[in-house]
Amino acid sequence: MEPLLFPRESGQFIAERSRDVFVEEEGVQKGAEMLYRLRHSEDLTASGWKKANPLAPELTSDQALNWVFVVDTMNFSFWPEEETQQCEVTYKGTTYTGYMTLCAAIIRAMDEGIPITDPKYFSQMSLEELGHVLRSDNETPMPMLQERHQVLTEGGCVLQEHGGSFRSFISQAGNNAHKMVEFIVEKIPSYRDEATYEGRKISFFKRAQILVADFWGIMEARGEGDIIDMDWLTMFADYRVPQALVYLGALRYSDALMQVLNNGELLSSGDRREVEIRGCSIWAVELIRDRLCKLVHERDGQTCNINSAVIDFYLWPYAKQHHKEMAHIPIHHTRCIYY
């Protein structure tokens, strides 16, 4: 059996064989030029993380690290069955949908005195207790409540076995981003975001990578961001960033795939087309980053220190901000715990 391909190698392997998703040279250049114009912006730094996570608690406490673990462990599958039936959570006068409903619900629970960031508590909490924490303002509940309960209690038990906090858990992998991802995936089954494509075992590790990137974002904001090998991380293959990549022209879907997505057909986790969308997204961002670094070197005579995680931190809110212009590009839908 050939060894598992890590996310970057998986992206390249898939992009070279893909039948329904294609990485487009012109769009890669366009994406790189767009990022080049923003190269001095805070949007392309680790501190841009806090901007994208306005509901994150005060970053000075270790509670913030546990908060990130709770949120990233349940960070999957927020899309509604019907656009008109969105799960909503209102916090301090603002009503949130999608991923932000989860953040708002966790902060609301903290305000209510529920120890939702304490692994001792969330490793043993009941389904009913989590249902109360994640309650919606309307009739539409947050999807996959049982799965969220299962992965959160599982994750809490793992933290309990490794010092009782996310900080003590992750410190066992040293300060290396690559080793952190491998450690998370090895110890917590729900983070094993893998599939088989053309006979090869491939990986995306979306939530494991975003957990490490969020940890890095917090540590950088504190002035403690001494984490090496951040360049090992890729973008976090989900359903929102691929839409932005199609919009920018860096990705192109075949007519057959466009028809399937426009018909609202659900793709199962591990379906060839779903794997191609995620894998080609990873590879498109890698090529955009390579091109961006070339531009910085050629035009500025400098070394580019913008990594793929930071590019993802920019593209995800970019997709949200431009959702009206992107409305004609269908988002693929897959119900799973991986993204």
Token pair belonging to 316? 């995800």
Asked if residue 96 belongs to a domain, the reply is yes
Strand partners, 5: 202
Q: Taking the CB of residue 43, how many other CB atoms lie within 10 A of it?
A: 17
- Say if 326 falls within a structural domain: no
Residue 141 within any structural domain of the chain: yes
pLDDT 10s digits, 11-63: 999 999 999 999 999 999 999 999 999 999 988 988 766 677 788 887 677 88
**Based on the structure, what is the number of domains in the chain?**
1
Check: CB of residue 252 under 8 Å from CB of residue 22: yes
The answer to whether residue 193 is catalytic is no
Residue 30 to residues 35, 285, 326, Cα–Cα distance (Å): 9, 12, 16
Residue 336 lies in a domain: no
Active site residue: 72, 193, 214, 238, which one?
238
Chain center to CA of 247: 19
Would you say residue 331 lies in a domain? no
Residues 251 and 68: their CA atoms lie apart, in Å, by 30
**Spans of the chain below 70 pLDDT:** 48-50, 59
Q: How far apart are the first and last CA of the chain?
A: 27
Residue 14 backbone dihedrals phi, psi, to 5 degrees: -70, -45
Domain that holds residue 69: 7-321
**330: number of CA atoms within 13 Å, CB side?**
19
Is residue 1 one of the residues assigned to a domain? no
Q: What local confidence, expressed as pLDDT, does residue 59 receive?
A: 65
* pTM value > 0.85: yes
As a whole number of angstroms, the distance between CA 314 and CA 319 comes to: 9
Alpha helix positions (H), the chain: 7-15, 25-37, 48-52, 62-73, 99-111, 119-122, 127-133, 145-161, 166-170, 177-187, 206-221, 241-247, 255-262, 272-295, 308-321
| CA angle at 88 for the pair 86 and 93, rounded to the nearest 5° | 145
Residue 5 carries which DSSP code? B
pLDDT tens digits for range 188-223: 999 999 999 999 999 999 999 999 999 998 888 888
Backbone angles phi, psi at 5, to 5 degrees: -85, 130
